A and B are shown apart, each in its own frame.
Chain A
Amino acid sequence: MPFTNTISSFLQFLQERYPDILVATREHLTISVISILLSTLIAVPVGMYLANNKIKWLHSAVFSIANLFQTIPSLALLAILLPLFGIGMKPAIFALFLYAILPILRNTYAGFQSVDQSIVEAAKGMGYSASQRLFSIQLPLAFPYIMSGLRMTIVYIISWTTLAALVGAGGLGQLIVSGIGVNKQELVLAGALAAILLTVLTDQILGFIEKRVFRKVKAN
């Protein structure tokens, strides 16, 4: 049976090459995590600031720029970044960082918008300072939105990180690229499966954390 043969040869391949797969996974995670952390650090505060300000032109300016990054094709973006950052992890991280900004920003903004204004006003009227309002009322209430935006972004950033191999950043994409180059299907399969597994697993873990931390938040 060719099918059983394929499976057994694939398992054998895994056994031989698993150290390489682990290294690629680690690189993959490093790229994803750094780019997401960076974009969260930028997008969440910006979203918070925008939601608490009513400066119209600033809103449209920020969202247009974030949208613009989103529309650049990923391959083209990587190509543009190469002369600026050289080869390696840097251009990859930077590109993914740009892609992650918009969804996180949008969800943070939406989360803050979703907080009932009368609740914020009640807090103000009772003597919460602006920062107390932000951190003990608005942020906890907006958190489910921010979290779901983050979850979604993390999932697709992990899967896009496979592209990072094209600029020599390594990661699971490297297995796929090499597999194509030497026409070794096991390599392609291993890279793809590992990326899928990583995505699903991360999503599950995040979902679990979300539930544990926010089971207390019962918005009406």
Chain B
Amino acid sequence: MIKFKAINKTYNDGHQVLKNLNLTINQGEITVLIGPSGCGKTTTMKLINRLITPSSGEILLQDENIANLDPIKLRRKIGYVIQNIGLFPHMTIAQNVAVVPRLLKWDKKEINAKVDELLNLVGLDPNIYRDRYPSELSGGQQQRVGVIRALAANPVLILMDEPFSALDPISREQLQDELVRLQQEIKTTIVFVTHDMDEAIKIADTIVIMKDGEIVQAGAPEQILRHPANDFVKHFIGSKRMQSVQAMQEPTVDDVMADQPAVIYPSRGLAYAVKLMESRKVDSLFVIDKNNKLLGSVSIYQILDQYKDETKLVADVMKPAPHVVLSGTSLSAALNLMNEHQLSNMPIVKQEHQFVGLITRGSVISHMTELYTSEHIGGEIHAVH
């Protein structure tokens, strides 16, 4: 769809905003350019409709070098939505939406039909809103009009420059949802500039992260979250968001385990063992030595079998633990093992058989509860910039 080839942009004051930029934007996708301010994301976008001319390099739009096209004709093929909405205050909503079709000298009937269709598309009743002026609409409604104005002339491509950043959070969320829905309906290519990582993750098919005029990483949101290219990307995504993604994708046994299970030394007597089970409300104990090394386990049944013999110690009745998992093992592997061997719990050890904790059915459930009731994803964390 769009190819940037070795683009450089240096301003007259010598400041280089883009450094050898190479980028391909795919047809029918939402591509989000993101980065801290001054990273060149807006400049990159404005190169496409020739509001800015590159110092060197070329840009191909549908295999045509845009430098050879008439900028005014080019811009009429490309939808444009800006941060400050930019509706024309002296025109009605219908006139605003019809701006580009009018420039292209469409038939009046055709224009009217298109305006009504588009207003309906974003839930603005044409009978009510057609003849209103922008100042009579709320910010969210105005930017809806801004978006459909960009769609009016069936553009090959839509550029959106931080279109929702000036809106209140509720309108912003709504418009993001609507944009995703619209895009699925009309399958247009959209290039979207933002500095809000939550927004990018929510709407993007491809995220392009930029810094100091260079692309740091480009890829699907999922790919970037799972495999950030470097510390800058990690930092930009935000550590909390990464943690939650990791937790979602592959919790380890360490995330889930109960880390203070009931333990007993092998030298203790059986009566003490029973007391301990009573007080901890468990039916088995793990046996460890002074170095915290896991030796085995005893269950209440094994103890009761030998209870009458007062000379017996825990060491005499315990059984070695047949199944253990190493710390750092994925939870799914541990759960499979528990399922396979019909175990109610699973001890977790470090190297040298050091006992560190225990997975029980209860600990798994409480972990899951925590994960699904707290809103880790898409929450309050914003990228630092």
A5 at the interface (CB under 8 A from B): no
A140 interface hit (Cβ, 8 Å): yes
A116 and B135 contacting across the interface, CB-CB below 8 Å: no
Known: A121-B82, A220-B134. A128 touches B103 (CB 8 A): yes
Contacts of A141 in B (CB 8 A): 88-90
The segment from A23-31, A198-206, A211-219 that touches chain B is A211-219
Distance between Cα atoms of A118 and B73 in the complex (Å): 20
Any chain B CB within 8 A of the CB of A71? no
Q: Is the CB of B89 within 8 A of A118?
A: no
- How far is it, in angstroms, between the C-alpha of A123 and the C-alpha of B149 when the chains are bound? 11
Query: In the complex, what residues of B have CB within 8 A of residue A128's CB?
Result: 72, 103
A118-B84, A132-B103 known; A124-B89 Cβ under 8 A: no
A residues 91-138 near B (Cβ < 8 Å) are 116, 118-119, 121-129, 132, 137
From DSSP, what is the main secondary structure of chain A's interface residues?
Answer: helix
**B141 contacts A by Cβ under 8 Å:** no
Question: Please, which residues of chain B bring their CB within 8 A of the CB of A140?
Answer: 90
Q: Is the CB of A219 within 8 A of B89?
A: yes
CB-CB nearest in chain B for A137: B88
Contact A123 B84 (CB under 8 A): no
Does the CB pair B72–A125 fall under 8 Å? Answer: no
Assuming the A-B contacts A118-B86, A140-B90, A141-B90, are A126 and B80 also in contact, with contact meaning beta carbons closer than 8 angstroms in the complex? yes
Complex Cα gap A132–B99 (Å): 11
Task: Report B49 CB to chain A, min CB distance, Å.
Answer: 6
Shortest C-beta distance, B210 to chain A (Å), equals: 21
Q: Which A residues are CB-close (under 8 A) to B103?
A: 126-128, 132
Which chain A residues lie closer than 8 Å to B83 at the CB level? 118
* Nearest CB in chain A to that of B86: its residue: A122
- Residues of A contacting B82 in the complex (Cβ-Cβ under 8 angstroms): 118, 121-122, 125
Q: Could you say which of A118, A125, A140, A219 has the most chain B C-beta atoms within 10 Å of its C-beta?
A: A125
Chain A residues, Cβ within 8 Å of B72: 127-129
Q: A51–B83 Cα gap in the complex (Å)?
A: 23
Q: Does B100 sit within 8 A of A, measured CB to CB?
A: yes
State how many residues of chain B have any CB contact under 8 Å with chain A: 27
| CA gap between A209 and B150 in the complex, in Å | 35
Closest A residue by C-beta to B84:
A118
Q: How far, in angstroms, from A122 to B73 measured CA to CA in the complex?
A: 15
Any chain A CB within 8 A of the CB of B51? yes
Are B90 and A123 neighbours in the complex by a CB distance under 8 Å? no
Which B residues are in CB contact (< 8 Å) with A219? 89-90, 135
From residue 94 to 115 of chain B, which have CB atoms closer than 8 A to chain A? Answer: 99-100, 103
A131 to chain B, nearest CB (A): 11
- Distance in angstroms from B131 CB to nearest chain A CB is 11
Residues in B with CB closer than 8 Å to A122 are 80, 82, 86-88
Q: How far is the CA of A121 from the CA of B52 in the complex (A)?
A: 12
Q: Note all chain A residues with C-beta closer than 8 A to B134.
A: 218, 220
Bound-complex Cα distance A127 to B149 (A): 13
Closest-by-CB residue of A relative to B103 is A127
A-B contact pairs, 25 of them (CB 8 A): A116-B84, A116-B86, A118-B84, A119-B86, A119-B89, A121-B51, A121-B86, A122-B87, A123-B86, A124-B75, A125-B49, A126-B76, A126-B99, A128-B72, A128-B103, A129-B72, A141-B90, A217-B89, A218-B89, A218-B90, A218-B134, A219-B89, A219-B90, A219-B135, A220-B134
B residues within 8 Å of A by Cβ?
49, 51, 72-76, 80, 82-90, 99-100, 103, 133-136, 149-150, 159
Other 13 A-B pairs with CB < 8 A, given A122-B88, A123-B88, A129-B72: A118-B85, A122-B80, A124-B51, A125-B75, A125-B80, A125-B159, A126-B75, A126-B100, A127-B100, A137-B88, A140-B90, A218-B89, A218-B135
- Nearest first, the 10 closest Cβ-Cβ pairs linking A and B are A122-B86, A127-B76, A127-B75, A125-B80, A118-B84, A217-B90, A218-B133, A220-B135, A140-B90, A118-B86
